[in-house]
Every structure is written in C-alpha cells, then in structure tokens.
C-alpha cells in the first residue's frame, strides 16, 4: 500500500526560494526608481501653481509681482502681491521676471532633501507661456 507523504521536499523549498529571490532582485530596483520619480514629481505641482498664481495675479490686478522671489520659512512659503502660497517642506521654489521686451516669468523648483532628480542640477524650470517645464 502507498503512503501519503505530507510536506514539501527540500528541493521544492529551494526552488520556491530561488524564484522569490529572482522576483525580488527585479522588483526592488524598479520600485526604487518609481519612488524617486514620484518624489521628483512633487516639485512639478508647486512650480505650475506658482506660475498660475503669478499670471493670474497679473490678469486680475493688472500689476506684475516683483521681479523675483523665493520660498522661505518652515513650511516654505512664497508671498506674491500680498497672498501667501505654502509648499511642501522638501521643495524650494523661486521665480524671476525677464526684462523688456520679453517680460515673461520663469519659475524654478528643486528638492531640498537630497533626492536626486533628472537634469544637471535637479531643477525643474517652467517659462511663462509653456505648458511643460524642463528638468
């Protein structure tokens, strides 16, 4: 009569561990890449919202914000014509306005917590009139 064995053999367990090791070796670097990209994308929103605030304030009041400014304090905040805009603690935002005849705003942002973002300096730059900035 045949006996019914219970449990797994050592070979079966080693095969399962090898498969899990291979999956982990592939998944962990991919996951780290996605999290780094997400951290860098946290800069994009504040840069675009600052540009909207600058252009919207000019359209609403007919006066341009000062020619330049940068976020300060904790949490970082930027004041544009009396309105304060707060940003995540890990993001620094600054803006400038070109001289005539261009008169376009340029808003830049970067991470302050050491996260490496694309581009030479890890800075995201948006110029007024463009829909997408550049790293």
Q: Tell me, what's the pLDDT at 22?
A: 96
- Establish if 3 belongs to a structural domain: no
- Establish if 6 belongs to a structural domain: no
- Establish if 37 belongs to a structural domain: yes
Q: Tell me, what's the pLDDT at 21?
A: 96
Give the number of domains in the chain. 1
Q: Which residue has the tokens 């997408």?
A: 132
Q: Tell me, what's the pLDDT at 100?
A: 65
> 45: cis peptide before it, omega within 30°?
no
Q: What is the pTM of this model?
A: 0.69
pLDDT tens sequence for the chain (135 residues): 567 778 889 999 999 999 999 999 999 999 988 888 888 888 888 888 888 888 888 777 777 777 777 877 677 788 877 788 888 888 888 888 887 667 788 888 888 887 777 665 678 888 887 777 777
- Establish if 96 belongs to a structural domain: yes
- Establish if 116 belongs to a structural domain: yes
Query: Domain range for residue 71?
Result: 11-127
- Establish if 133 belongs to a structural domain: no
Cα 125 to Cα 17: distance, rounded to the nearest angstrom: 46
Cα 68 to Cα 115: distance, rounded to the nearest angstrom: 25
- Establish if 94 belongs to a structural domain: yes
- Yes or no: say if 111 and 90 are a contact pair by the CB < 8 Å rule: yes
- Establish if 39 belongs to a structural domain: yes
């Amino acid at each position: 009569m045949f006996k019914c064995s219970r449990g797994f053999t050592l070979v079966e367990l080693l095969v399962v561990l090898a498969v899990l090791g291979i999956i982990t070796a592939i998944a962990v670097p991919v996951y780290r890449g996605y999290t780094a990209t997400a951290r860098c994308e946290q800069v994009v929103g504040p840069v675009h919202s600052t540009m909207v605030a600058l252009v919207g304030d000019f359209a609403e009041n007919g006066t341009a914000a000062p020619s330049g400014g940068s976020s300060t304090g904790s949490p970082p905040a930027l004041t544009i014509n009396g309105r304060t805009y707060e940003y995540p603690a890990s993001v620094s935002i600054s803006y400038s306005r070109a001289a005539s005849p261009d008169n376009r705003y340029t808003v830049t942002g970067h991470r302050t917590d050491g996260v490496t973002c694309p581009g030479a300096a890890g800075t995201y730059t948006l110029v007024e009139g463009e829909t997408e900035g550049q790293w």
